Structures are given as C-alpha cells and as structure tokens.
Structure 1
Amino acid sequence: MLRVRLILLLLCLPLVVGCEGCRQDVAPPEQDKEEEPLQEFSSKPALSYPADSNLGGNGIKPGHWMTAAQTLKSNKADARGELLTQSSVVKSDDLGGGGITNQQDGIQSLRPIVLPKGQQRRFDVRLLTPKPSSIEQRKLYLSSRFVSAGRSTSFDTGRQPFNVMIGQEYFFVILTNRPERFAAFQVADWVKPLRGQYEFQTAKPNYRVVMPNTENVLAIPETMLDLSSTAVVLWDNLGPESLTPQQMTALSDWVRFGGHLIVNGADASDAISKTQIGDLLPLIPTSNIELDPDAAVEMLTNWQVKTDRTTKAKIESIRSQTGRIAVDGKLVDGAEAVPNSGNLIVQRRIGLGRVVQPRFDVTGDWLQDWDSYNSFVNSVLLMRPRREMIESRDPDAESMFSQLYADYGTTASDAAFNTHFRLTARDAVLAVSKDGKSLAVKQTHAMDPYTFSSPVTGIGAWTDDSDAVSLCQEILREESGIEIPDSSLVVRSLGYYLLLLVPINYLFFRLIGKLEYAWLAVPFIAIGGAIWVARAARLDIGFARSQTELAILELQPEYQRGHLSRVIAIYNSLSSTYDFDFKTYDAAAMPMIDSRSSDDSIEGCTFKTSFGEGPTLSGISVGSNRIRLVHCEQMIDLGGAITRNQNELLNGTKQELYDAFVLTKSPTGELQIASVGMVPAQSSAALKFDSSSEVSVSDELPMQAARLIKRLASPVIMPPGSSRLVARIDNTMSDLTITPAANQTAAQTIVLAHLEHAPLPIPQPDVNLLSDFRRVQTGQPSTNDDE
C-alpha cells in the first residue's frame, strides 16, 4: 500500500511542479494605482446666450448687454458664495508670450450661488461686453471666479474665448429639435455673401445661425435688453412649454421693438397659439389641411428668380405628389397675406417688428434644390434687399463674382439690412439744429436714414454717445447741482429770527416775571433758528445731495410695456458711494465716463443680480462737490397703452401726460400736428389737426424739457406714413431706488409713443443667380429670358 502511494506521488509531481510554474509565469496583480486627489470644484466652459448646441459656433457681439452661463460643481462639500464674471477684449498682438498690454475689461457681474455637494448647476449672469475701438485683431473672453462665503475658498474657471461678431452681424436663432433640417441655412448666401474664388475668405457674415440645445432650459435671454444682438427668431417644432414665462415676455417685447419672428408651419403655429405670445400670430390655427398644389405653384412662379430654370421641375413635382401639410385658420386684424404668395404666407406688423407665418414647413422636400430658395428666404421671410450677382473680369485671372445690393449700389452689407430692432434712445438720428432755426437729419443709411449704425457694434448697442443720451447729458450738466436758496428765503428767515429773538422773547419772560432769563434764551433761539434755516433750504448742515434726472419713455402701438432710458446726475457736497436698486429683472445700468475727468471710472462698480427683485448697480463713487452721471434702462409696465382712434387719443396708462402733441406724416410727406396739452391718466382727448410745420412748445418748461420735445417731435426725423405722440411726465418712474437718498430731486420724463409705423417695404426676388454665370462658363445657353 505504501508502495502504491509513493508511485502515485511520483506521477503527480510533474503536474504539481508545472502548476507551480504556471503560477510563477502569471504576474501578480498590480497594486491599485494611487488615485489623483479629487478637485474641490470643477466647471464646464462658459456659454454666451443665445448659445448654439455646438459650442464652437458661439459668439459675442461687443457693446451689447448679454446673458451668459457658467456651470459649476462642488465635489467635496456643500458650498455657498458668490460668482464673479467679467468680459474682456484683448488685442490679438498681445496674445503672444510677451504678456497682455492692451486689454479692455468690462464691469464685473456678481450673483450669489449655492452648490450642493456633487450636483452640477448652471448659473445665468448678465453683463455688458466692452466696446473695442475696432474689431480687427481682437479677441473677446469671459472669465468667472467663485468665492465662498467668508472668502476662505476661491475657484477660477479660467478665460473662455469667444468669436467676436462684427457690426453688421446678428444672431439668427432657430428653436428646433431637428437641426439637420436647417443645415442649408448655415451656408446660405444671405448668411454669408458669396464671393469669387479669390474673394470668398473676405466675405463678412450677416448672421450667426444658432440652434440652442433643447434638452434643458433654452439658452436664450430672459429680457429684451439682452436680445439687442438678435435679429431673427425662427420657431420650428418646439412645444409650448419650451420657453420660460420670462423668455416669453422678452420675445414679446423684442418683437414690438423690431424683432423678426418666423413661425414655421403647423407645429410652430399650434405651439405658439397655446402660449402667452399667441397674440403675436397673424393666423390663429384651427386645423391642418392638405397643401394646395395650385397655391404652391403660384408662390413658386411669382417668387422665382427670373433666370431660374429649376422651377419647372419643382412645379411638376408638386403636382405629382400629394399629402403635404398646411395650416388652416383665421387671419387676425392687421394681418395680411404676403403679395403673390398664393395666400400661403401671412404676415403681421407688431409694433416695429414683423411676424411672418408660412402655412407650410419651409424645410419641406418640395422646396429643396430650388435655385431660388435663398432668394425666397432673403426677400419673403427676412425682407432683406434684393441682390444681384455681378462678374468682374481680370485679364490675368479667372472670373470673380460679387453680390451687389441692386437698389443701393453697394456690395457691402449693413446692419440696417440685417436687423430691424431699434431703440430711440440708442439709435435714433435726431434733428440737428443749424443756425438756431432750421433742422436737418444726419444721413447714415440709404435704407434707413433715421437710424445711426456703428461700424463696430452695429445697431441696438448700449451707448452713451447717441443723439438722445448726449442731449440729456448736456442738459443735466447745466441743470444738476445744489439749489441755492433765493433772497426771499433769507429775508423771511431773518425777519422770523428777529421777531422771535426780540419782541416775543421779551414779552414771554416779562409775562412770567423772569425778564432776566431772556438773555439766557438767546443762544437756544439762535441754534434753533440755524436748524430751521438749514431744513428750509433742504440742506443738512454742510452735507447735501441732489439727484436730477432726464428720461425718454418709448412706447409701441397698442402695447402697455415700454422702454425707459434714464440719464441721472448725482451731486454730492462730500464724497459718497451710491447703489442703484431696480424692482424688476428687465433693467440695466452703467456709470457714464466723462473723458474730461480723471476721477470717472468703472473701478469698484459691480452689477449684481439675483439678490432681490431686480439687479443692483453698486459702488458708484461720487467725489466731493462732483457730478456723476449714470445711464439706466429698463422695461416697465404702464398698466395700459396709448392709442389713437381716428381723431381721439386714448391714454390708457397710469401716468398723466403734459404738453402732448400728436404728429402724423402721410406716405407722401404731408405733416399734420394736433396740440393736445394735458391728458389725464385713463382718459381720452379729442384731436384737432392743422397743417403746422413744427410743434410750438414753451421754452419755460422745467429742466429744458422743451429741447427734447422739439427734437423728438421734429418732422424731419419721422418716416412717411407714421404717427407719434410726444409729451412729458412731470416726475420720475418709481421702479428705481437710489441709496443714499438725495435731499433735492428733480425729474422729467419725455414720452415718445409710436401710434403708427410706416408700412412694410414690398419684398422683391433677387435679380439673378450665380448659377447663371456657371452655365455660361460651361458652354450652356444663357438663362436670361430677355435675350
């Protein structure tokens, strides 16, 4: 038995050794590598609104207010503190290794934030981007820094670079869940003009097409003040719940002041009709019907470019296929069909803006590969000027092509071609006085001579140099300061003092039998008299403040919300720091910089949001015996609109109007003026027009208000076919609190209420197509029907 066991052991020994060898060949498991320490905070790249789902396509328009977003995460513990964000413009030459020497920083924006452990949160901030002296060779950055409560912890997210938009370039926002359907919009010739082989790289864009991510809250602003860089919004297939109430209000305001809203077909019409901006629709949808082939053929035939040879094939395709969806409904008052569109496209003038509503989907297959499609979008949907492709021949090179605006004789685009958004306080060209009598308009555009456009910031930018704001500054520098008491106050005070000091003091102590005490009362009477005189003069014994304000309130037809632009002058006898607190979110403010003063700067100023009802501009330093100007803007609700019903003016607001004038200018230029005078709140007044050449207003109005009224009521700044009211409100609006409060205040608000705007221009198709030249070059026959 023992022998058998020894034999089995010898036989198994190689297997055991082999197994041991196998164990030796297998490397022992590695020890866990030491994990990198978890960072206390982490962040994602900043977004600038409106934000494209492709971050590389995001841009910022300098000189405009904007909303931005910063995403943060606290990895180790709950955190609470403040997020500070700033924008900077840097000259490209300073981006090398030599350090930055030419950088313009915007005012710092601050908001409180809370970071629960492990939760990634996105925070919106509002800020004004700096305005560079020129666009060339400059970069724009956003930088954010989180500072914990108690300043114990700080986290810097770094500088995020953004594309700088040029003066003529504006956002074209598409609200869609199917971005692939709008790929052709990204490369369309109305987005970036076509150029020849040797010129294409220098073509300057008209629009920056952005399609926000729809998985979360849409990355678009919640106030009209931050939408000034957006020209067009196309609502495609999003549901009615896609936008927040604040975003809806912002869109409603934006359209009234010149925004362009495109409602794309059945899904968009149905969605918008169920929201608070349903009142913008030209057509209230009732049902979906089949697209009428005859109407589609009529539209294609009338809106084709004259030289287009693809239209015939498109017509055959339309007639051979059925089942395409269109919207049926009822036109609202003031809406109309676009001429020659087969009643398939309806439009409506809303204030200064336009809402265009195709009954069909503009990305439909029956419109694809139609050579006139870009012309159709350019003229019918966007109402831009018609274009013409021109060829210039170089004997030493191939043919080159340029896009010419046929009615203006220029190849250069202009901000006025691309956006219709206007704010009088920022952009209006006011009448300029010549020899104290005649008035003339500074010419800026062939298309819009009533609007000034900056080559750097375009139209709609925040500015302290506009005609309206500059005039307010000039008046306030003359009007602001401490009011010196007149001589009557001195005479009265001296008389009261002597009366109290001598006869009354003597008689009082004589009656009580203590005449010797009359002399003891003299010091107390003197001190009491000094205090009374100081209060009568509204002065605080050696320390005084005054606040003087001029404002322009602009209203659109039949709309109760208005744009209020204020210029406020603060005077202090001793140095102090001021805060401006707004009650509504739709507000913005900036200190004005006087180049003549070395004390004026934005250093120490902060724009705070999310602390209370509205934003706060804090840290405005005013030196001793100095005047500091602050520019404020906000959207306010007046509780009603100012409207005109034939020869009756209706003041539906809560404000009493003084020195009111109504002016109308016919399409042929004839002017009529009705002097209304005072119009109480919630009341009406009869209008009696006469053929005056200008308004007659007293120069004795407080704070030189007559100068502003005359400018805004000048006939030469009114487009033909428009009507407006110009009046004044004898106080300030109550939606702003300035701390510390002033002892002396004075304010005048000039009202500009648009009662009717000039008619919309008639769109026209392009003159020709680039493909016309390509056919000629390849030996194909000319497509010009006139030949």
Structure 2
Amino acid sequence: MRMDGCRSSCAGAARRWNTSLLLALFALTSLTGCGGCNQTPAQQAAAKKAREQAEIAEAKKRAEEEKKNKPFVIGRLTPLLSENLIETEEGFSLRLAKPGHWTTTIQPMKANLADFEGRITIAAVDPSGTPMAIPHTPYEMTSSRPAVLAKGRGKRVENELLIPSNAEKLNVVSELLNNAGSLADAPLTEPWTLMPSHQYFFIVLAREPARYGFLKVTDAVKAPFQDLNGTEIPHYRVVLADGNKPLPLPPNVLTWTSVAYVVWDEVNLDRLDPAQQEALVDWIHWGGRLIINGPDSLDSLRASFLKDYLPADVGERIAFDQAAIDDFSNGWSQRPAGKPLKPISVTKPWSGVQLKPRDGGKALPHADKLFYERPVGAGSVVVSAVQLAERDLVNWPGFDGFLNGALLRRPAREFTVDGDDVGLQSFWVDAKERVRDAYFTTPLRWFARDAATSANARDVATPVNASNQYYGWQGGAAMPETSLVVDRAGGLGEWNEFGPVSEAGRDALVDAAGVRVPAASFVVICLAVYLVVLVPLNWMVFYALGRVEWAWISAPLIALAGTMAVVRQAQLDIGFVRSQTEIALMELQGDLPRGHLTRYTAIYSSLSDTYDLEFENSSAVASPFPRDETWTPAIGDVLSTVAFEKYDQPRLRGVEVSSASTQMIHSEQMLPLDGPIRLYSPSNNPRLLQIENKSGFNLSDVAIVFRDGSNAVEPAKVTRADGAAESPDEVQRQGWNKLKGFWLGDFKSGTALPLPPLQPLAVAKGELPFAAERARSTQLTSGERLNIDPLLRMAFWFPQLDDPIHGSRDEYRLIGRIDEVLPGSVVSPTASQTTGATVVLAHLRRSDAPFPGVDKNSPLDVQPQGRKNAYEFEDEMPDPSEGN
C-alpha cells in the first residue's frame, strides 16, 4: 500500500513537473519569438536578413583586423572609367574595358608596417598567368608605375594598360615589387569584362548623379534588339559620378578613346587637375560631345578652362511655361511613319535661365531658347536652358527621340516587332545592316586609327554540313548557322596596327629604313677625293713650307684618315651602325595648339642591342609595331618582355633588336605647339579668310584643299561602267576630283596670308594631288627626302556617307610635310644616323553636320499594348495608349 501510494504520489509529481516544464517552455518561446511560431513570413525574412547582416559585419570586422597585421593592403585593380559602375551585391566595381584600347587603371593600396618605395606592374595575362603576346610580334608587354607609400596612408595608384585586340577573355595581373625587383606582396589576378565593339562609355558628372539614372534605361542607351536568343547589348555603359568627389576621368586623352559622351552638371572644378582639364578639351576637339546642364553650370564655367568653347552665355533666371515649349514639343513628337506622340505636359513652369548665343552657337532643331550647340574641332558642346533631368521632360514619350537625334546627334531610328518570336528591335534608318556599328555610337574620330576603316559587327548566316542539320529542316538543305563577324574588336578608337594609316606608315618606313648598297659613284668620288688630297694637295702644302720631304711622312697618315672617312661614310650609307628612321603623322584640330602625333619608328643595329624610347610628354603611349600581319611565334620561341613605364617621363624599355635587323615601334602622344595652324577671319573684314602658321615648325609642300560635303558618296556604291565595284584607290581618286585646292608650297612658322582662290582638282590615275608641284619641290630641295607618298595619299582621305555623323561635313584642310624627326622622343643608345619626315594634317575648319531628324516611328507604333517608356518608373507610367 505504501509502495503503491508512493508510486501514485511520484507519478502525480512527475505529471505536475512535466506540465510545469511545458508551460515554462511555452512561455519562454512566447517571449523569444519561437523562431517562427508567432512570426509572419515577413518577420522571419527580416530576422534572417538581420542575422546575415550581423554575420557580414562581423566578417568585415575580422577582415579589417587581419588587414592591420598585413604588410600591405592592396585593393582590386579596376579600369578608372568603370570604377563608378557598381552593379554587384558585394559592392565591387565592374571592370570593363574595350579590346585594343589603352586604359587608365586605378588600384588602392596602403603600407601598414613601414614606408615603402617600389613599383606596381600590371599585365594582361593568359589563363596560365603569362603576359599575352603583342599580336604578330616577338614581344609581350607589361606596364609599371612607381608605388611610393607612406606608412598607414592609403594611396590610389594609376597605371596605363594596352588591352590586347585579340583577347577573347581577359585577366589582368598586378604585382607590387620593391626596388630590387622582388615581390613585396602576393600577385593579384582579376578577371575583366571586354566591351563589345560598338559599346562605349557615357559619363555623367553631376552634383546629384542619381538624378540621371533614367539614362540607363532609355532606348537610346539600351538599344532594344531582341532576337531569337533574347540578346540585347546596350550601346552605352552609363557612369554616374559625383561631381564633388574625385572624378573618374583619366589625365591622358589617349585613354579616353572609349568615351563617347559626357554630361556636366554642377561639377566642382577643384576636382579636375590641369591634366584632366587638358584631356577633356582634347577629347572634345577630336569628336567628343559635351552636354552641359546650363541652369546650374554655365555661371561657374564663364571663367573656367571651358570658357572659350561655350555656345552661349547665361542670362537671367526665367521660367518656361507650356507656350514656351510648344514648338519644341510638337517638332520632336512627330514621326514620319508613325503616329505623333503625346506632347509634353508642363505640370508647373520649368525653372531655367536665359541663354545668349555666342558666335558659332546655334539652336538645336525646334529648340530655340532651350538648347544651343557649338562645333569645337571635330566635336561639339551643348548647353541647356532648362534642367536636363526635368521631370516633365524625361517622362515625355518623345524624350528618347530627342535624346537620340538632338542631344546625342545620332541618325534616326526605326522600331519593329517581328512576329511573336522576336521582341522590339531598333534599326538605323537606311542602314539596317549596321545595327551594331561603332560609327553610329561614338562621334570620336582619330585619323591615325580610324581613317577609311570599318567598325561594324553583324550576324552572318552560313550553311553547315547536311549531316549535322536538324531533323525536319525544309527541303533537306543544310541547316544555316549564324555567327557574329566583327570588323574591329575595339570599334573606333582602337590602337590600330593594320589599318590604312598604319599600313601606309609601315610601307613608307620599310622603304625608308631599308639597307642601301653604295652606288658606283660613291666609290669613284671617294677615290678621287683621296687621290687629290694624297698627291697634289699634300705636295703643295709642304712645298709652301719648304719641306717637300715631309710629304712622304704624311702620306701614311692621310691614307689612314681617308680609310676611316670612307668606312664611316659607308657605315652611314649601308647601316653597319645604329640608325633610326621615323615616319610620322601629326593631326591638328581647329585652333587647338596641340597635335596628335603618331610615330612609326624603325631602329636598325648591326649588332644585337637593347633599346629604350623615352618621351617628353606624359600623354605618350607606345608598343612594338609588327612588320606584317602574318608573322606568329613558332612553338618553342621565347618572347621578349618590353615594359611601358611611367616614371618622371613615359618610356618603352627593353626593346631587343637582333644583329643586322630592324625593329619598329608605334607610339602616339599629344604634342604641344607654339600655336595653332588656323583659318580665321580678321575682325575688320569677316568675309576675308586668312591662314596662319604659328606652330613653330616650317612646313613644305603645303596644299590647301576644300571638300564640299554634299559631294560625299557611299564608297560601296561607287561602280565602274560595267557595273563592277571600283578599287579603293580609284574610289579615292574620284573623290579627289571633287575637291578644290591650291598649292602653297613653303609655309614658314610665324607667317599669315590671305586664302587664295581654290580651283577644282584634276588628279591623274596613279598620282597624288599636285603631282607636278611636288616633283618641282623635290628637285629644288637640297639633300635626299624620304618618300612618304603612302602617308600623304591617306592625308587626302575624307569621310564619306558611310560615316553617318561626319561624312557630309564641309571641310577646309591643310596638308604638308616636315622633313625632320620631331622633338619629344629620345632613343637610347643614340643612333649615329637619324632621318625622318612628318605628314601634317590640319583640319582647319568644318561645317556643322546636318541634323538627322526625328525617328521614323516609335515603339508605341509597333507595341501599342503594354509598352512602357523605359525611362519612367513603374508607378509613374501613364497608360501607353495615351501616347497615340
């Protein structure tokens, strides 16, 4: 009984204890949230996110502590232009670069333990980590820059890298080296993304860059082209940069070749150093288009480095109501093959400024008092009287067409939808096969790189073997395959080793730098001089001194001196010593006192040696120049490494030249001149045109030519009488016969003269313009001149209608030559024989390019249902049908 009672009592106690425990656990879980018992899914997600953020914060804290114990903290190597493109969850910059372009890089680093002096070296590498070969040369190349780090202080180290044009995938390695050349820290290898040939950067510099986020989703930027694979490759990468912070603008304009447009809005001028300012001005002169938000920026630019290029001055603050923008709205809402778009609705008057156009400033079509532009060299500057990010303007269905045709000055487009399988596509009117052509996406043109080139990327269908065709293919024919054919991997602006200008420079250089065997006359002349000095002159000298017997003593000395002179002269003639030959092209734009100098340099050595090239200007870039397009290294060949270094001056170091061989170098730089070569009108007689040379160089064989842009043609459409296509040379000659010109001859620096009447040219087949005048000039010139006719032939090339932005512009041009090696480059060891010649190409004046007009239709015409303006936020979008 006692045992049963105990069991009963214990069992009851146990039941009471279990009940109490369950109640306590229930209360505890109620107090702590129960991990989801009483939480909604949103609360659970928030709790999970909070835990993840806490874990990330803790990991970052541990990483920061670990960094403090490392000798160096080295950040990611990033192209400067894409540093502000943050599109990853980790907050890293997208590393975008165009193949074949020079790129400015940026890399943060810090020394924790002590001050450090060394260098940072970077290189494009293959999957094994080996620097990639420069195509068709026996070289690979690295780039290096000094790295001087103060203990505990972070520093951003810039460098410049040439991206290989043949790279399909790109990895870039960076190494921190001490002064002894040893690794100071572990190398870092980063994968970079290659931009397609037609894609360029669109830079926005603004005090509030987020206001311009709408640009990223406009059709002008996104370029909708949805094919069967759903691909859509934007025309631009929009970079939004804070105008009050360090700006992602390289200090060297030759690394701006992948920048198409720049928007400027309240930029802090103190954030631009002189090198960046100069680079921006040069970029505009070579075709760049600067778009300035006038109401907030014009006043601060009146006394800035841009003051001479502004199309208008700022006046009083004014407001623009509906009536003030009606003409603008109606003009840019029209669609020739579609329905007019809904006009702008001004919800409240737009705040803006009065614009007072300067000489050369003109209103954009239908935009008088609102937008003005001014040509600057090959480029232009645009200013607005209203805010570029004005809400009513941006939300207007016609804004994308205005952006494309007026602000960006690109050709008109046509939108289509191809059935149910293919979505919205945009084409260039009258050029549907050039959807991805760099000539339509960037206005920048560098003559030495881009003249007479193609830059399209197009899909080409080719049949495949019938055994591989898909089942059921129509008619049993071979299944076609589509492949992308790219004319130039880097599009326009690519470092071009085999373009028409480089080929012309190579041809002239090979001819000028060839080994020459002395003529028979050389032997006869040397023998005659020797006999005259040895016999009559020797005897006469000592006869006058009364010591004829001494003539026998001097005879061996004269023979020795004569032998040395003959050997020396023979060395200079046939190249048994070091020799340097340079063929160059200097391109000038308008009134700018700087020229783009492209050098093709040949170094010959009778013995194996290693050469360095140093440049006086910090803008210089250089690499080995291939002799032809067929050479490739054989299996087992060891490539030499050349280093492009930027210390106090840029230099290309370590160019190995084998015995009795010639190595060629391609370099470019911006060369400062004493002043411009310009065409101008005196203030007292605006109808008189005068040409002036203030460059500091005396020019010879100068011709002035004028091309009427209305005579431009499509080169591909020039045919013979029998219907066959004409050769490129004949197409060019036919173009020459449409020029007007005048032979000026010598044109010394510091002189000016009225522009004489220009006469139509008549160029014989196989000859250059002004062939007879050139022949007479050569006869009157003392000494031997290098034959630079291949490069002169290219200097007479003008853009034709296949260039939709510049092809139809009128142009005055000066073409001449300088028969010497221009300063700014030093080769060491020094060559005993140096010869050179430079073709001068000065774009004196261009007319405004005609505006392309409005788009043929709009996306609303082909997608009336469900189409949303890409630049609107979803909660702000009106009914698309209201746009019809």
Give the TM-score normalised by the residue count of structure 2: 0.74
TM-fit CA distance, 1:361:
1.1
Distance 1:415 1:517 in 2: 79
TM-fit CA distance, 1:215:
5.8
Are the structure 2 counterparts of residues 178 and 541 from structure 1 closer, same or farther at C-alpha, using a change threshold of 3 Å?
closer
Task: Look up the match of 1:302.
Answer: 331
Match of 1:404 among 424, 427, 442: 427
Task: Look up the match of 2:105.
Answer: 68
Task: Look up the match of 1:363.
Answer: 389
Give secondary structure in 2 for the equivalent of 1:186.
Answer: helix
TM-fit CA distance, 1:750:
0.9
Task: Look up the match of 1:78.
Answer: 115
Are the structure 2 counterparts of residues 601 and 558 from structure 1 closer, same or farther at C-alpha, using a change threshold of 3 Å?
farther
Task: Look up the match of 2:853.
Answer: 764
Distance 2:433 2:824 in 1: 46
Are the structure 2 counterparts of residues 508 and 150 from structure 1 closer, same or farther at C-alpha, using a change threshold of 3 Å?
same
TM-fit CA distance, 1:86:
1.2
Are the structure 2 counterparts of residues 223 and 101 from structure 1 closer, same or farther at C-alpha, using a change threshold of 3 Å?
closer
Match of 1:633 among 650, 657, 668: 668
Distance 2:741 2:632 in 1: 46
Match of 2:215 among 174, 182, 185: 185
Distance 1:60 1:359 in 2: 35
Task: Look up the match of 1:573.
Answer: 606
Task: Look up the match of 1:713.
Answer: 796
Contact 1:295 1:344 in 2 (8 A): no
Contact 2:131 2:142 in 1 (8 A): no
Task: Look up the match of 1:688.
Answer: 757
Give secondary structure in 1 for the equivalent of 2:710.
Answer: coil
Match of 2:190 among 140, 146, 160: 160
Match of 1:679 among 747, 764, 784: 747
Task: Look up the match of 2:164.
Answer: 130
Task: Look up the match of 2:70.
Answer: 39
Contact 2:286 2:378 in 1 (8 A): yes
TM-fit CA distance, 1:264:
1.4
Contact 1:240 1:274 in 2 (8 A): no
Distance 1:353 1:617 in 2: 31
What runs of 5+ residues in structure 2 fail to find an aligned partner? 1-61, 87-91, 135-139, 459-484, 681-687, 712-737, 764-768, 779-784, 801-806, 868-878
Distance 2:862 2:573 in 1: 80
TM-fit CA distance, 1:335:
0.9
Distance 2:705 2:184 in 1: 58
Contact 1:379 1:763 in 2 (8 A): yes
Deviations 1:637-668, CA, capped at 9 Å, x for gaps? 22222223455422222111211111112243
The aligned runs of 1:380-419 (5 Å cut-off) are 380-394=406-420, 400-410=423-433, 412-419=435-442
Segment drifting more, 665-674 vs 329-338: 665-674
Are the structure 2 counterparts of residues 157 and 376 from structure 1 closer, same or farther at C-alpha, using a change threshold of 3 Å?
farther
Deviations 1:583-609, CA, capped at 9 Å, x for gaps? 111211111123555789972211110
1:704 aligns with 2:704: no
Contact 2:640 2:656 in 1 (8 A): no
Distance 2:574 2:195 in 1: 53
Distance 1:666 1:498 in 2: 63
Task: Look up the match of 2:722.
Answer: none
Give secondary structure in 2 for the equivalent of 1:464.
Answer: coil
Contact 1:238 1:267 in 2 (8 A): no
TM-fit CA distance, 1:512:
8.8
TM-fit CA distance, 1:290:
2.5
Q: Aligned residues: percent identity?
A: 30
Match of 1:173 among 196, 203, 220: 203
Contact 2:813 2:844 in 1 (8 A): yes
Task: Look up the match of 1:107.
Answer: 141
Give the counterpart letter for 2:757 in structure 1: K
Contact 1:555 1:753 in 2 (8 A): yes
Task: Look up the match of 1:57.
Answer: 94
Give secondary structure in 1 for the equivalent of 2:219.
Answer: coil
Give the counterpart letter for 1:128 in structure 2: L
Match of 2:566 among 533, 544, 556: 533
Task: Look up the match of 1:421.
Answer: 444
Are the structure 2 counterparts of residues 754 and 496 from structure 1 closer, same or farther at C-alpha, using a change threshold of 3 Å?
closer
Distance 2:574 2:319 in 1: 81
Task: Look up the match of 1:435.
Answer: none
Give secondary structure in 2 for the equivalent of 1:161.
Answer: strand
1:459 aligns with 2:492: yes
Give the counterpart letter for 1:41 in structure 2: F
What runs of 5+ residues in structure 1 fail to find an aligned partner? 1-32, 431-441, 447-451
Deviations 1:715-744, CA, capped at 9 Å, x for gaps? 786855222111111222111111122222
Task: Look up the match of 1:224.
Answer: 253
Give the counterpart letter for 2:760 in structure 1: S
1:649 aligns with 2:679: no
Give secondary structure in 1 for the equivalent of 2:599.
Answer: strand
Contact 1:534 1:541 in 2 (8 A): no
Give secondary structure in 1 for the equivalent of 2:186.
Answer: strand
Contact 1:281 1:355 in 2 (8 A): yes
Distance 2:792 2:129 in 1: 47
Contact 2:202 2:259 in 1 (8 A): yes
Distance 2:692 2:452 in 1: 28
Distance 1:46 1:139 in 2: 16
Match of 2:300 among 252, 257, 271: 271
1:285 aligns with 2:314: yes
The aligned runs of 1:592-671 (5 Å cut-off) are 592-595=625-628, 603-609=640-646, 611-612=647-648, 614-645=649-680, 646=688, 648-669=690-711, 670-671=738-739
Give the counterpart letter for 1:679 in structure 2: F
Are the structure 2 counterparts of residues 736 and 381 from structure 1 closer, same or farther at C-alpha, using a change threshold of 3 Å?
same
Give secondary structure in 2 for the equivalent of 1:526.
Answer: helix
TM-fit CA distance, 1:218:
1.5
1:253 aligns with 2:282: yes
Distance 2:818 2:371 in 1: 42
Task: Look up the match of 1:730.
Answer: 819
TM-fit CA distance, 1:365:
1.8
Contact 1:109 1:125 in 2 (8 A): yes
Give the counterpart letter for 2:642 in structure 1: C
Give the TM-score normalised by the residue count of structure 1: 0.83
Contact 2:609 2:656 in 1 (8 A): yes
Matched residue count: 712
Distance 2:625 2:264 in 1: 38
Contact 1:305 1:769 in 2 (8 A): no
Are the structure 2 counterparts of residues 274 and 293 from structure 1 closer, same or farther at C-alpha, using a change threshold of 3 Å?
farther
Distance 1:721 1:453 in 2: 30
Deviations 1:367-414, CA, capped at 9 Å, x for gaps? 2422222222111111122222212224xx6x7322222332347231
Give secondary structure in 2 for the equivalent of 1:155.
Answer: coil
Distance 1:203 1:781 in 2: 22
Are the structure 2 counterparts of residues 731 and 519 from structure 1 closer, same or farther at C-alpha, using a change threshold of 3 Å?
closer
Distance 1:272 1:75 in 2: 42
Distance 1:510 1:238 in 2: 85
Q: Which has the higher helix share?
A: 2
Segment drifting more, 576-585 vs 497-506: 497-506
Contact 2:611 2:655 in 1 (8 A): yes
Give secondary structure in 2 for the equivalent of 1:677.
Answer: strand
Are the structure 2 counterparts of residues 373 and 715 from structure 1 closer, same or farther at C-alpha, using a change threshold of 3 Å?
closer
Are the structure 2 counterparts of residues 40 and 308 from structure 1 closer, same or farther at C-alpha, using a change threshold of 3 Å?
farther
Contact 1:693 1:715 in 2 (8 A): no
The aligned runs of 1:204-223 (5 Å cut-off) are 204-212=233-241, 214=243, 216-223=245-252
Segment drifting more, 78-87 vs 525-534: 525-534
Are the structure 2 counterparts of residues 68 and 776 from structure 1 closer, same or farther at C-alpha, using a change threshold of 3 Å?
closer
Give the counterpart letter for 1:708 in structure 2: L
TM-fit CA distance, 1:752:
1.1
Contact 1:84 1:146 in 2 (8 A): yes
Contact 1:104 1:132 in 2 (8 A): no
Give the counterpart letter for 1:688 in structure 2: P
